[in-house]
A = this chain, B = another copy of it.
Amino acid sequence: MMIFKKNNWFKVAVLGLLLIVFQNAIAQGHPRLVLTPKGVKEIKVQLGKVPLFDASIAEVKKDVDVEIELGIVVPIPKDFSGGYTHERHKKNWLIMQKAGVLYQILGDKKYAIYVKDMLMAYAKLYPTLPLHPQERSYARGKLFWQALNDANWLVYASQAYDCVYNFIGAKDRAIIEKDLFKPYADFISIGSPQYFNRVHNHSTWGNVAVGMIALVMDDAELLDRAMNGLKEDNLPPGMRDSDGGLIKKEGQKTGFLANVEEPFSPDGYYNEGPYYQRYAMYPFMVFAEALQNTKPELKIFDFKKGILIKSAYALLNLTNSEGEFFPLNDGQKGMSYYSRELVSVVDIAYLYGGKDASLLSIAEKQGRVQLDNSGMAVALGVKNKLTKPFIKKSIDLSDGSDGEQGGVAILRNKISDNELTLVMKYAAQGSSHGHFDKLSFSYYQNSDEVLQDYGLARFVNIEQKGGGNYLKENSTWAKQTIAHNTIIQNETSHFNGDFVIGDKFSSKKYLYDVSNPKVQIISATEDNAYPGTKMHRTMVLLETEGYEKPLLLDIFQVDAKIANQYDLPFYYLGQMMSANFKYEMPKTLEPLGKSFGYQHLWKEGIGKATDENTKFSWLYGGSFYTMTWATSPDDELLLVRLGANDPNFNLRRDAGIIIRRKNTQKTTFVNVIEAHGSYSPVTENAINAFSSITNVELVYEDENYVGVSIKNKNETVSLFILATTNSSATQKHKLEIKEKTYTWVGAHYSSTIK
């Protein structure tokens, strides 16, 4: 040992050699995907000594034993997601994979027998199957209503097969491969080119499914198909999927490598958003692990500057304080890093990403590990008390494979245990799961949504809600611009709600500066959502004197060639406390409009701004919130409630307030969002229940600058100035506002005076 320590070059060289020799051996043996013979040996040595791993084994064993007791059930496919046959086949893939792993680790043959029997049953069923009877999908499967789920099945079944490969005799293997795996892999690739030959989370699953089974069966042709896509697919250009997403662009590369290359930005942001990144990360990571085990020469974890590991971090950063993903684009609220996919992601990122001890804190919260060497590495790290906290800082994640298609910025300010988080989206369209919400934002206090992003309109896997699939309201409401906290011009969604147009453009970052933790800024522009209209939104998470908590300053500048109507909605949760403007509540409720999502909003209140400042307060989750807008008497205020034209009650009855400016060419919306105080129904104490802001004023605006002042009831005035046309950090500026001269260096200036 001493000799190695003193001669690291020697150690590396020797180990490297051993590794290459050994890995070639591994590639010829089984298991070889997420488990290897060597890895299994190492795990067996540690069994019973590493609590987190042992607990995970016990949990998995319990699940599998129950299913073995129930017996093998392989029904004829019939239902949508949520329905019996769907859920049964889904359970089969999950349990089969677990049983395979248990066989390897525990050595108990009953698990191998279970996997073998199930694969034999599938081998018998599969050749008899026509396309799945449900016809909704653009790419129907055979076991499931969509080929996507067929691919899910194969990703897991490959692992199960890999684990019991040696246990199953050559004769039965031949049957299984001939009747099941080969035609299965062909069907989801050659048989479903519109699904397989694409850059999309769906295709990632397809590519990985084919790649995994290729590795198990040592099928070079299949592996090439998985890695590089189909050479010929005969797909007509402009073809769309069931969600309206474009299937394939001209000259599009496909296959696994293209699916790593393109959707991830250099920062690891996945263009569809965190919900689908979570979904796709499992195949990305387990296949990378399998490739590392079988084809280490590929150095897959180094691909695109280590993008897979980076994307794991991006994903962990795209969560609120409870680990729930921000529901950007189509995202189901509540999905979090506690999901099984993220257990795999965190474990694999730990082992293959340099054993970052902060990942162990996430693993500890997850309370379980993947049953392979990555999971064992994590469990050992936890056992050896290496854990460090995973600290989420403010971050700006670029979008687009070149990082040049806008991005998503997350500004965080944590004071003791209280965290305020702004999520500002200035990204590209986000593929078929993208929403038309340029320059939109959501705002959190800890895990409470202060101002929400609606997320998707779907009850994933709940059969009685449209077969668990996307609901009509996802298109008519959730994707529309009005469903988001951003500007809508003339009651028409960005890009006219057209995916093909939207997919061509992205917003542009103007400034991201968090160098001063008390004045954190994201500023971005959007010139294409409405041709002829330039939009520039600047949001500042501002920790300043006289306030219990940081303020969120929102400056939204619009400049159009012609006069338009602008609506700027804010969707709050909880209950309104007070409003300082007059409004009327109609005797009967009518929808706000006819299309682009407006048809889903009831007009609960119609008012006019009367003061220089319009204030609106609400109570949610034991906290008070107040918005203070700099307004003019011409501004209309609309209190809206979701739920119109929603005959199946698919939408939540959430509330919003819209500020409307009619017949306006150029204007700036200025708003300050204040989180303050608390209320408990147990103590019945209302603490700091009122806004501390007495005035918000747009004190300066010209072609090059915008300035806003915020006055506190204690007379303190906070001033923020942004140079809107020069974001250089070294530029000197001089500006006179209200007979006072301000000079500074860099894109912005802020001060607080009394």
B461→A684 contact, CB < 8 A: yes
Question: A679–B461 Cα gap in the complex (Å)?
Answer: 9
Provide the residues of chain B in CB contact with A584, threshold 8 Å: 647
- Does residue A126 face the partner (Cβ distance < 8 Å to B)? no
B682→A464 contact, CB < 8 A: no
A281-339 residues at the B interface, CB under 8 angstroms: 332-336, 338-339
- Does residue A259 face the partner (Cβ distance < 8 Å to B)? no
Provide the residues of chain B in CB contact with A339, threshold 8 Å: 682-683
- Does residue A182 face the partner (Cβ distance < 8 Å to B)? no
A653→B652 contact, CB < 8 A: no
Instruction: Say yes or no: A468-B576 contact (C-beta < 8 A), given A332-B681, A589-B602, A653-B655.
Output: no
Provide the residues of chain B in CB contact with A117, threshold 8 Å: none
How far in angstroms is the closest Cβ of chain B from A300? 28
Provide the residues of chain B in CB contact with A652, threshold 8 Å: 575
Question: A72–B587 Cα gap in the complex (Å)?
Answer: 51
How far in angstroms is the closest Cβ of chain B from A732? 46
B685→A578 contact, CB < 8 A: no
Partner of A589, one of B340, B589, B681: B589
B643→A604 contact, CB < 8 A: yes
A588→B585 contact, CB < 8 A: no
A684→B332 contact, CB < 8 A: yes
A628-665 residues at the B interface, CB under 8 angstroms: 639, 641, 643, 645-649, 652-653, 655
- Does residue A82 face the partner (Cβ distance < 8 Å to B)? yes
Provide the residues of chain B in CB contact with A680, threshold 8 Å: 334
Provide the residues of chain B in CB contact with A460, threshold 8 Å: 681, 684
A682→B585 contact, CB < 8 A: no
Question: A463–B680 Cα gap in the complex (Å)?
Answer: 14
How far in angstroms is the closest Cβ of chain B from A446? 18
- Does residue A59 face the partner (Cβ distance < 8 Å to B)? no
Q: How many residues of A contact B (CB 8 A)?
A: 55
How far in angstroms is the closest Cβ of chain B from A198? 23
- Does residue A534 face the partner (Cβ distance < 8 Å to B)? no
Interface string of A457-468 (1 = CB under 8 A from B): 001111111001
How far in angstroms is the closest Cβ of chain B from A231? 35
Closest chain B residue to A583, Cβ basis: B647
Provide the residues of chain B in CB contact with A587, threshold 8 Å: 590-591
Provide the residues of chain B in CB contact with A679, threshold 8 Å: 459, 462
- Does residue A210 face the partner (Cβ distance < 8 Å to B)? no
Closest chain B residue to A645, Cβ basis: B585
A331-351 residues at the B interface, CB under 8 angstroms: 332-336, 338-340
Provide the residues of chain B in CB contact with A585, threshold 8 Å: 645-647
A444-481 residues at the B interface, CB under 8 angstroms: 459-465, 468
- Does residue A106 face the partner (Cβ distance < 8 Å to B)? no
- Does residue A563 face the partner (Cβ distance < 8 Å to B)? no
A333→B681 contact, CB < 8 A: yes
How far in angstroms is the closest Cβ of chain B from A629? 18
Question: A613–B12 Cα gap in the complex (Å)?
Answer: 74
B333→A462 contact, CB < 8 A: no
Question: A680–B333 Cα gap in the complex (Å)?
Answer: 10
- Does residue A373 face the partner (Cβ distance < 8 Å to B)? no
How far in angstroms is the closest Cβ of chain B from A447? 13
Provide the residues of chain B in CB contact with A647, threshold 8 Å: 584-585, 605
A689→B336 contact, CB < 8 A: no
A334→B689 contact, CB < 8 A: no
- Does residue A577 face the partner (Cβ distance < 8 Å to B)? yes
Question: A461–B333 Cα gap in the complex (Å)?
Answer: 33
How far in angstroms is the closest Cβ of chain B from A544? 24
A577→B689 contact, CB < 8 A: no
- Does residue A519 face the partner (Cβ distance < 8 Å to B)? no
Question: A645–B587 Cα gap in the complex (Å)?
Answer: 7
Instruction: Say yes or no: A461-B681 contact (C-beta < 8 A), given A585-B647, A589-B588, A653-B655.
Output: no
Partner of A683, one of B340, B619, B690: B340
Closest chain B residue to A602, Cβ basis: B589
- Does residue A25 face the partner (Cβ distance < 8 Å to B)? no
Question: A682–B332 Cα gap in the complex (Å)?
Answer: 9
A685→B461 contact, CB < 8 A: yes
Instruction: Say yes or no: A335-B681 contact (C-beta < 8 A), given A641-B653, A647-B585, A649-B576.
Output: yes
- Does residue A686 face the partner (Cβ distance < 8 Å to B)? yes
How far in angstroms is the closest Cβ of chain B from A275? 10
- Does residue A413 face the partner (Cβ distance < 8 Å to B)? no
- Does residue A421 face the partner (Cβ distance < 8 Å to B)? no
Partner of A462, one of B336, B577, B645: B577
A650-706 residues at the B interface, CB under 8 angstroms: 652-653, 655, 679-686, 689-690
How far in angstroms is the closest Cβ of chain B from A645? 8
- Does residue A489 face the partner (Cβ distance < 8 Å to B)? no
Interface string of A601-620 (1 = CB under 8 A from B): 01011000000000001010
A619→B332 contact, CB < 8 A: no
Question: A468–B681 Cα gap in the complex (Å)?
Answer: 12
Provide the residues of chain B in CB contact with A619, threshold 8 Å: 459, 462
Question: A641–B642 Cα gap in the complex (Å)?
Answer: 12
How far in angstroms is the closest Cβ of chain B from A342? 9
B646→A643 contact, CB < 8 A: no
A682→B335 contact, CB < 8 A: yes
24 contacts between A and B (CB under 8 A): A82-B686, A332-B681, A335-B684, A336-B681, A339-B683, A459-B577, A459-B619, A459-B686, A460-B681, A461-B684, A461-B685, A461-B686, A462-B619, A463-B689, A464-B577, A464-B689, A464-B690, A575-B652, A576-B649, A588-B589, A589-B602, A604-B643, A641-B643, A653-B655
Further 13 A-B residue pairs, CB within 8 A, beyond A464-B689, A641-B653, A653-B653: A87-B685, A87-B686, A334-B682, A335-B682, A336-B681, A340-B683, A460-B684, A463-B686, A465-B577, A465-B578, A576-B649, A588-B588, A588-B589
